[in-house]
Amino acid sequence: MADPAWFALFAELPRESVVEVEGTVRRSEKSNRGVELFPSAVRVITRSEVPLPLGVVDKVGADLDTRLDHRVLDLRKPAVRAIFELRAVVLAGFRRAFTDRGFLEVETPKLLRQGAEGGATLFPVQYFDQRAFLAQSPQLYKQMLMGAGFERVFEIAPAFRAEPSDTVRHITEFTSLDAEMAYIDGPEDLRATLEEVIRETLTRTKAELTEKDHPFAGGIPELTAPFPRIPFETAEEWLGRPGAEQDFGTEDEKVIGVRAEKEYGSPFYFLVDYPTAVKLHTFYAWRNDANPRKTGYFDLGFHGIEIASGGPREHRIDRLTENMTAGGFDPKDFPGYLEAFRFGMAPHGGWGLGIDRIVWMLTGLPNIRETRLFPRDRYRLDP
Ligand code: AMO
């Protein structure tokens, strides 16, 4: 029989305190877990303060802001921790799928002199006596590595966007999985590799989580169908506005996702053949001389959310500098980048995939913020 003094101690000890207990474990019919611990010594290591700002074992849920304000306590819940277990398995799966295909994992600078994804979402940084920016994407560096002859690289790293919109799918710090490949014949080479990598990663993830009886195993799709390639014009017809040449908004993307799944039985789909007028990415995108109205750029959607975007790049330095000037950039501001094109550059292309977005869609949770340990958004810089 246990010492009644222990009962008094445990009755008084606040929840979430940390204790060290020595004792005997015995089978017990009465306990949920089938065993009971009979202490012979108890040491309180740290007493929790009261009251808890957020219940850890309570059945009643708190709203997301309260949960994120007290994130350490929130992360103690097994259902929340499970998101990060899934995330870790997905990341390990991607690393393996890329490495098995001869891609070299790289790390590029996150403090940059210049951005390439549009000035509106750049975060300026005071860098000693100069102005720098947080990287929005490893875009220019992954291309420079094609100039270095690396041929196939990938990077999994933070990307920063001063994203003022307060939506469920935008955060200001996200994890970007970027890849770049040389000697491509066109965008289909990129799409085929991206499709393979996703299929392999999710198949492995599903198998591993199913074996562990993990709560998110059931939500991982079995990718039996090929990912359809849906031309921009077809998607416009689905939306009832053929030929409008207008980029898709959030609601449009949802409609496209539902229709793609219905027609092709695939939760993933490529949107291809974007008109140049709609999606001419900044200067680094390859210009399609054979059909200047169409870019080689594509998006990858998953359950109606854009999770990746990419395409072939401009590898001809004269065209690249023309595009820079036409886009209001000064080639003199990019000496290191341009040098990579001056001494032999292979045709190349790649894509960026939002890790938070794919994990978000795999969990089916309402808000992308839940997929990051300590998310950052327009209003949140703490904890
Ligand atoms: P893009 O700007 O389309 O392309 O970004 C690529 C992918 O990154 C994710 N993403 C985000 N996720 C969460 N919050 C955000 N604010 C956010 N912004 C972007 C999305 C998106 O599909 N350099 C190109 C890629 C390339 O061509 O290689 C680029 O950055 O999942």
Could you read off the pLDDT of 228-254 as tens digits, one per residue? 999 999 999 999 999 889 999 999 999
- Whether 194 and 293 share a structural domain: yes
Show the domain range for 151. Answer: 74-371
- Whether 143 and 40 share a structural domain: no
Residue 98 has pLDDT above 90, yes or no: yes
List C-alpha distances in Å: 87 to 99, 202, 298: 18, 11, 25
357 pocket-lining for ligand 1 (C-beta < 6 Å):
yes
Give residue 254 CA to ligand 1 midpoint distance, Å: 18
174 pocket-lining for ligand 1 (C-beta < 6 Å):
yes
Nearest CA residue ID for atom 17, ligand 1: 170
> CB of 310 within 8 A of CB of 298?
yes
Residue 378 in domain: no
Nearest CA residue ID for atom 6, ligand 1: 352
Q: How do residues 150-170 score in pLDDT, each as one tens digit?
A: 999 999 999 999 998 899 999
Q: How do residues 302-318 score in pLDDT, each as one tens digit?
A: 999 999 999 999 999 99
Residue 238 in domain: yes
Q: How do residues 48-66 score in pLDDT, each as one tens digit?
A: 999 999 999 987 789 999 9
Q: How many CB atoms lie within 10 A of CB 134?
A: 19
Q: Which of these is catalytic: 357, 369, 370, 372? A: 357
Residue 105 bears catalytic tag: no
Residue 313 bears catalytic tag: no
Residue 315 bears catalytic tag: no
Give residue 301 CA to ligand 1 midpoint distance, Å: 12
pTM of the model: 0.96
Per-residue buried b or exposed e for 76-113, using 16+ beta carbons within 10 Å of the residue's own CB: ebeebeebebbbebbbebbbebbeeeebeebebebebe
Residue 61 in domain: no
What whole-number distance in Å separates Cα of residue 158 and Cα of residue 172? 10
Q: Which of these is catalytic: 163, 200, 261, 370? A: 163
- Whether 104 and 145 share a structural domain: yes
Provide the CATH number for the domain around residue 227. Answer: 3.30.930.10
Give residue 239 CA to ligand 1 midpoint distance, Å: 24
